[in-house]
Each structure stands twice: as C-alpha cells, then as structure tokens.
C-alpha cells in the first residue's frame, strides 16, 4: 500500500525533472571523433590518394558493400581504378577501417545520408575522396613501404635500412 | 416547440463536446505520460502538438476496416457500438451545471450503474465474436473483472445515497453544499475510484487488454474505425468515471462563485483524468487472480462495512 503511493509520488515528481530527449533536427548531440558514421577515403600529406587497392576492406566487409578495382601508374604506385561503396547495404561496422593498412578508408562522425532515391546511396570514388588526411595526419604509406613507387628510392625510407647487397659476404 | 429544439441542440452539443474531449485526451495522455517519463511526446503537429489528434483521426479513418473471415460478423460490428452507446448514455444523467444536463432522472445513479454493466457486454461480445484465442482470454478476463467490480462499485455508492437521501444526481450534488461527500465517505470514494479504474479497464487494471500478454486482448482483431471506437470509448470511460467521481464525491459544479459552475466541474473532472494518467505512468499491472483477490477479499468486505457503518450513523444521528 505504502509502496504504491510512493511510486505514484515518485512518478509525479518526475514532472519537474529535466527531459532527456534531444530534439534532433534543431539540436544536435556531440559526436566523438571516433564515431563510426559515413565512410571517406583520405589523402596523404602530399595530397595523393592513400588507397593502394589491396582489397582488404572489401574482404573484411561483412555485408559486401565495397567493390573496387586496383590499378598501377608508370612508377608502380598502386591506386584504385574505381572504388564504390553501397551505403544502402553498409552497416557502419568499421571493419574496413580496421583492415586498411594505409589508413586510407576512415569512418567520420556524420550519419545524415538519407536519400529519396536508393540509387543515390551508391557512392563512387569521387564522392568518397576528401581533401584532408582524416584522423591520422602526417602518415604516408609509401614513405614506409619497401618498394619504390616514385615517392622515395629503395632504402631511403624513414625507418628503413639500406638494401643488402646479396653478392657480398660482409654482414 | 422552441424548448424541445433547444434541448435537442443541448444534447447534441454535449455529445459532440464529450467526443471532442475524449479525442483530445489521446493527445493529453501522450503529452502528460511523456512528461512523467522525462520525454516530450507529440509536439510537432501544430501548437504543442495539438493537431496530433487530427492526424490520428485521419489515419484511423483511412485504415482498412477489416473483418476477419472467421469472425461472427454481426456481433463483431455491433460490439464496439455497444461500448460507445452505453458510455454516452451514462453521460445523460451527469449534471454538468444546474442548467447543462441531458435528463434529470430520479434514479440517475441506478441508470449509470446499469449502463456500466451494459458496457461489459461490448467487451465480452467483441472477444467472443473475434473467434481468436487471445481475444477470448481477454474477454473472459474482462467478464470476471467487470462483473465482480460492479458489485461493490454499486455498494460503495450506497453511502452517498444514504447521506443525500436520493438517487437523483442533482439532489446528490445539492446535498453536498457546505461539505463534499468525500470527507464523510472517504472509504466509499477510494473504493468507487478503484472500481472505476477496473470498469474502464485502464492501467493498472488493463488485464483484459494486457498487450504484453494477450496481443491486444479483446480488440486484437479490430482495425480502422472499429478499433477507434474502442479507443475513444476507453477515453470516454475515463471521462465518465472522472465526471461521476466529481459529481458524487466532490460537489459537482459547486465551488466559490468567482468562476462559473461549468468551470468548477471541468477543473475537478480534469484533475481526476490527470490522476488516471498518473496511475498509468506509475503502476504495474497485477495478475488476474490478484485482482480478483483484492476485489472479493478486501474491497467487497470494506464496502459492506462502509454501508453498515454509514447506515448505523445515519440512523443514530437522524441526519
């Protein structure tokens, strides 16, 4: 009996509490920088595409929404010939970002991608590419890689030793 | 002739006003329920979301009015109408003010009790004709709940009748000048209010509906405007019980003279309607057998005791 009256009173008191609803289109919640939202392709500090077309993101994707085709330029630098993400399938799980060895594919705190036409949810490479470096500034994969792709010569990398002359006996 | 036309206009006006209030309660309940749950509720359509009522109505009118092929069609169609008719007829005896009221019946209180028994048929027939096991379980629960709570709903009002010496609703209100009946009849008021919640099948006593157990209970198979009639009927029931509580225990239209009588009546009525909604926001639903035990083992003896003690005191003091 007392507990019934008490719960009625406690509910009544909630009249004077602050409401938890955030009235979305007028007020927007703060989203942390690591929020998993829309997917973008970033560029390296030299404004070149970071993506090397390794297909690891497409393999990691649980809903198979990423499709791409790799290509190579005259220097042997790999990039994506086309890169297509179908956001009507994408579940924003972030596995592609985890899989990416060059920090090219990144998820950003933006989720307002609603469209009236389903076909408009298929984003091509030019829709995905942004001008900035995203969450990992200063990283350039080809400065660390062991191959010469026109960015640096072999053995000139930041944490790279000179190539070993396999014809010599000296260590 | 003019008198009759005026009276017919008054009757239609009261009916329209009641249906409007019942429809408006859908919005009021959603807003206040949200307020007590730290939410906003519908606040987009119109000023404070008041046009939500219109949106709901448009939606419910244009929904497919489907009658399941396995249902007993005639009874299925008639059942929601019975609910509306019985509740709207009960309002005939409610004196809103000395001037506004449909009929001045000398057995008004008995008429109200009779009509609320009549409303039980609607629920039982709706559940029966739906030919659906969930509907039938809901109807069986409704039958047991409504019939057993009617017993002491009537008994709890006998104290009021003894104090005022009349079954006429106007006489009951006029007998409360100077002292509202909820003071000498506090027990009767509590029992009547609990029985009223059970009669309108509102939370916490929405056992016949029990959406977490029985889909939607007796109106599982209803859709479109037939469901809308059950829905509006529920809110009309809340309004009726609030109006009756106001009339019988809280002095009806009586109040200080700075406001006209109809305002006093509406203020008291809406206070009870809000209390109905507060109960919905705060209390969980009991089990069916707990409801029966509360009714027959606690409230029924208490209402008998109330009748006995009130009768003895009235005899002793020759009130």
Question: Which chain A residue's Cα is nearest to B284?
Answer: A4
pLDDT digits (tens, 9 = 90+) for B155-183: 888 888 888 888 888 888 888 887 888 77
Residue B305 domain-assigned? yes
Question: A72 pairs with which residues across the strands?
Answer: A78
Q: Strand pairing of A105-107 and A66-72? A: unpaired
Residues of chain B with Cβ-Cβ distance to A17 below 8 Å are 38
Q: Per-residue pLDDT for A63 more than 90?
A: yes
For residue A59, the model assigns a pLDDT of 92
Residues B78-100 have a mean pLDDT of 86
d(CA A154, CA A39): 33
Question: Which chain A residue's Cα is nearest to B44?
Answer: A23
Residues B8-13 have a mean pLDDT of 87
- State the residue range of the domain holding B290: 70-317
Residues of chain B with Cβ-Cβ distance to A15 below 8 Å are 35-36
Residue B9 domain-assigned? no
Question: Which chain B residue's Cα is nearest to A19?
Answer: B38
B319 band by pLDDT with thresholds 50, 70 and 90: low
Percent of chain B having pLDDT more than 90? 1
d(CA B153, CA B113): 8
How is chain A split into domains, by residue range? 29-144
Residues A85-112 have a mean pLDDT of 90
- Cβ-count burial of A84 within 10 angstroms (0-12 exposed, 13-18 middle, 19+ buried)? middle
For residue B258, the model assigns a pLDDT of 81
Mean pLDDT score of chain A:
87
Least confident segment among A156-165, B1-10, B122-131? A156-165
For residue A62, the model assigns a pLDDT of 93
Q: Per-residue pLDDT for A146 more than 80?
A: no
How many independent structural domains does chain B possess?
1
Residues of chain B with Cβ-Cβ distance to A18 below 8 Å are 38
Residue B209 domain-assigned? yes
Q: Per-residue pLDDT for B232 more than 90?
A: no
Residues B304-314 have a mean pLDDT of 89
d(CA B76, CA B230): 12
pLDDT digits (tens, 9 = 90+) for A9-35: 988 888 888 888 888 888 888 889 889
A165 band by pLDDT with thresholds 50, 70 and 90: confident
Residues B21-35 have a mean pLDDT of 88
CB within 8 Å of A26: residues ≥ 6 apart: none
> Is the preceding omega at residue B204 within 30 degrees of 0, hence cis?
yes
A116 band by pLDDT with thresholds 50, 70 and 90: very high
Q: Per-residue pLDDT for A151 more than 80?
A: no
Residue B244 gets the label, from left (phi > 0), alpha (psi -120 to 50) or beta, of alpha
Q: Which helix (H) or strand (E) holds A107?
A: strand A105-107
A95 band by pLDDT with thresholds 50, 70 and 90: very high
At the topology level of CATH, where does A29-144 sit? Alpha-Beta Plaits (3.30.70)
Residue B262 domain-assigned? yes
Residue B263 domain-assigned? yes
Q: Report the SS3 class of residue A106.
A: strand
Number of CB atoms found within 10 A of residue B52's CB: 20
Residue B229 domain-assigned? yes
A-B C-beta contacts closer than 8 Å: 32
Residue B68: CA count within 13 A, CB half-sphere: 17
A84 band by pLDDT with thresholds 50, 70 and 90: very high
For residue B159, the model assigns a pLDDT of 85
For residue A67, the model assigns a pLDDT of 92
pLDDT digits (tens, 9 = 90+) for B188-216: 888 898 888 888 888 888 888 877 888 88
Residue B199 domain-assigned? yes
Q: Per-residue pLDDT for B235 more than 80?
A: yes
Q: How many helices (H) and strands (E) does chain A have?
A: 5, 5
Residues of chain A with Cβ-Cβ distance to B279 below 8 Å are 8
* A19 with B283: Cβ contact below 8 A: no
């Amino acid at each position: 009996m007392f507990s019934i009256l008490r719960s009625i009173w406690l509910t009544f008191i909630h009249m004077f509490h602050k409401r938890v609803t955030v009235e979305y289109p007028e007020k927007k919640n703060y989203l942390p920088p690591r929020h998993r939202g829309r997917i973008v392709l970033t560029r390296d500090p030299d404004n070149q595409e970071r993506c090397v077309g390794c297909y690891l993101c497409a393999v990691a994707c649980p809903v198979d929404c990423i499709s791409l085709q790799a290509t190579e330029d005259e220097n042997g630098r790999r990039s994506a010939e086309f890169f297509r993400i179908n956001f009507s399938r994408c579940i924003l799980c972030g596995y592609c970002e985890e899989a990416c060895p060059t920090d090219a594919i990144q998820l950003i705190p933006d989720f307002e991608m609603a469209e009236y036409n389903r076909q408009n949810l298929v984003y091509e490479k030019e829709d995905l590419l942004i001008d900035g470096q995203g969450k990992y500034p200063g990283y350039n994969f080809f400065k660390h890689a062991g191959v010469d792709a026109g960015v640096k010569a072999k053995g000139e990398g930041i944490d790279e030793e000179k190539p070993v002359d396999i014809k010599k006996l000296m260590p | 002739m003019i008198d009759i036309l005026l009276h017919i206009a008054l009757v239609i006006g009261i009916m329209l006003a009641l249906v409007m209030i019942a429809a408006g309660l859908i919005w009021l309940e959603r807003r206040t329920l949200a307020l007590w749950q730290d939410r906003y509720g519908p606040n987009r359509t119109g000023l404070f979301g008041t046009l939500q009522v219109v949106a709901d109505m448009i939606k419910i009118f244009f929904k497919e009015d489907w009658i399941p092929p396995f249902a007993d069609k005639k009874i299925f169609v008639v059942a929601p109408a019975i609910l509306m008719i019985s509740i709207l007829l009960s309002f005939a005896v409610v004196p809103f003010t000395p001037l506004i009221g449909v009929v001045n019946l000398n057995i008004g209180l008995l008429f109200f009790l009779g009509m609320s028994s009549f409303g039980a048929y609607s629920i039982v027939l709706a559940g029966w004709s739906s030919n659906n096991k969930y509907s039938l379980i809901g109807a069986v629960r409704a039958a047991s709940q409504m019939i057993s709570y009617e017993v002491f709903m009537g008994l709890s009002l006998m104290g009021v009748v003894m104090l005022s010496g009349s079954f006429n609703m106007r006489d009951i209100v006029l007998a409360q000048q100077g002292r509202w009946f909820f003071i000498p009849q506090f027990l009767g008021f509590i029992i009547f209010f609990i029985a009223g919640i059970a009669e309108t099948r509102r939370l916490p006593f929405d056992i016949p509906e029990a959406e977490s157990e029985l889909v939607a209970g007796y109106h599982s198979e209803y859709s479109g405007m037939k469901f809308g009639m059950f829905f509006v009927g529920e809110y009309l029931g809340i309004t009726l019980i609030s109006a009756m509580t106001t009339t019988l225990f809280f002095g009806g239209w009586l109040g200080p003279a700075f406001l006209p009588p109809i305002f006093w009546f509406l203020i008291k009525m809406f206070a009870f309607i809000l209390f109905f909604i507060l109960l919905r926001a705060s209390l969980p639903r009991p089990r069916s057998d707990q409801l029966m035990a509360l009714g027959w083992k606690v409230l029924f003896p208490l209402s008998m005791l109330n009748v006995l003690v009130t009768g003895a005191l009235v005899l002793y003091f020759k009130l």
